A and B are shown apart, each in its own frame.
Chain A
Amino acid sequence: MREYETTFIVQPEISDEGAQELLTRVDGILERSGAIRLLHDDQGKRRLAFDIQKFQKGRYVTTYYLSDGSAVSPVERALRLEESVLRFLTVMADPEVIDIEARKARAAEDERRHAERARERAQREAEEERAREAEMRSGGRERDRYGDDDDDGERGDDE
């Protein structure tokens, strides 16, 4: 078995549910082509180094899976046809995985860690959102006066 990782960029405007649906579809394809799905690593929205279809941000998801190679083309075909996917890249991460169970265990561990990270990120984002709203309500005039500073703050939030 080989280990592959497929990273793809989903349009930022797609909702969490929509992205989840896409992932379940990918799961289905992997299962049908006899691959073992290790994990989906949702890295959240990141700024693109350059615009793609006029989008400046994108949701990055990396899917790790074990396959003999026959699963790659169906997955890529599905991603190519999916309009909400801006880009994808498949890389062979390991040409020969011998201990499949050990790799699975490691993936489960990673998945837990990623989930924790995602939760933290969501919490932070929610907090920032609340802070922004509070600021909007309290000091609309001040915001105008320090327009530049506020801009910088918003850019920081994106990271």
Chain B
Amino acid sequence: MSESGFGGDFPRDDRPPREDRGGRGFGRGPGGRDRDRERGPMSVKARLRAKARKKARKAQKKKGSFLRKKVCRFCADTTAGIDYKDPKGLRYFLTETGKLIPQRISGNCAKHQRRIAVAIKRARQIALMPYASHHGM
């Protein structure tokens, strides 16, 4: 907790009158009880959501690059086509065991993920891509 919530010890003239500042004290961050007073009480759900948001922000700050916003590579580069006859370009979207990588991880948009999935399924039919990694071992 920083000293800011503990302002009573520092004589400052530009402070608002005491009753407007609310009862900020030790162990309570910004928000908390004085927010209730400004915007009315939060519902339990809203409070939980706010807490989750705060937690997510904190996690993002800590991890940094891990939560980088992903961009669909086919939207970013319009020249890149999706072709079922090109297993090299599709291999990136399969796990080592031959499963499709979900768009949550690959970062594709819905449209291109759908096309990737169709292309991989076609490539499997003509034996350009594996159904499972143990094929032919």
CB interface residues, A 45-80, toward B, < 8 Å: 46, 48-52, 56, 58, 60, 62
Q: Across the interface, do B122 and A49 meet the contact criterion of CB distance under 8 Å? A: no
- CB pair B127–A9 under 8 Å, yes or no, is yes
Contact B85 A58 (CB under 8 A): no
Contact B84 A91 (CB under 8 A): yes
Interface pair A9/B126, CB less than 8 Å apart: yes
Of A43, A52, A62, the residue contacting B127 (CB under 8 A) is A52
Knowing A56-B136, A89-B122, the reply to whether A49 touches B127 (Cβ < 8 A) is yes
Q: Is the beta-carbon distance between B85 and A50 smaller than 8 angstroms?
A: no
Q: Does A87 contact B (CB under 8 A)?
A: yes
Q: Is A33 in the interface zone, CB < 8 Å from B? A: no
B118-137 Cβ-contact flags toward A at 8 Å (1 or 0):
00001011111111000110
A17-32: which have CB < 8 Å to B? Answer: none
In the bound complex, do residue A51 and residue B125 qualify as a contact, i.e. CB atoms below 8 Å apart?
no
* Chain B nearest Cβ from A80, distance in angstroms: 14
Q: Could you say which residues of chain B place their CB within 8 Å of the CB of A9?
A: 126-127
- B87 at the binding interface (Cβ < 8 Å): yes
- A7-B126, A49-B130 known; A62 vs B136 contact (CB < 8 Å): no
Contact: A87 with B125, CB < 8 Å?
Answer: yes
Contacts across chains A and B counted by CB atoms under 8 Å: 41
Give chain A residues whose Cβ lies under 8 Å from the Cβ of B130. Answer: 49-50
Which of A51, A56, A89 contacts B126 (CB under 8 A)? A89
Contact between B135 and A7 (Cβ–Cβ < 8 Å)? Answer: no
Interface size on B, residues (CB 8 A): 14
The answer to whether A49 and B125 touch across the interface, beta carbons within 8 angstroms, is no
Contact in complex: A50, B131 (CB < 8 Å)? yes
**With A and B bound together, what is the CA distance between A56 and B127 in angstroms?**
10
- Once A56-B136, A91-B122 are accepted as A-B contacts, the answer to whether A49 and B85 lie under 8 Å apart by CB is no
The closest CB in chain B to the CB of A87 belongs to B126
The reply to whether B84 and A49 contact each other, CB–CB distance below 8 Å, is: no
| Pair A50/B84 contact, Cβ less than 8 Å | no
Residues on the B chain within 8 Å of A89, using CB = 122, 125-126
| CB nearest to B127 among chain A residues | A48
One digit per residue, 1 when the CB lies within 8 angstroms of any chain B CB and 0 when it does not, for chain A 7-21 equals 111000000000000
Residues of A within 8 A of B136 (CB): 48-51, 56
Query: Given A7-B85, A48-B128, A56-B136, list of 7 further CB < 8 A pairs?
Result: A48-B136, A49-B124, A50-B127, A50-B135, A87-B126, A89-B125, A91-B122
Point out residues on A near B: beta carbons under 8 Å: 7-9, 43, 46, 48-52, 56, 58, 60, 62, 86-89, 91
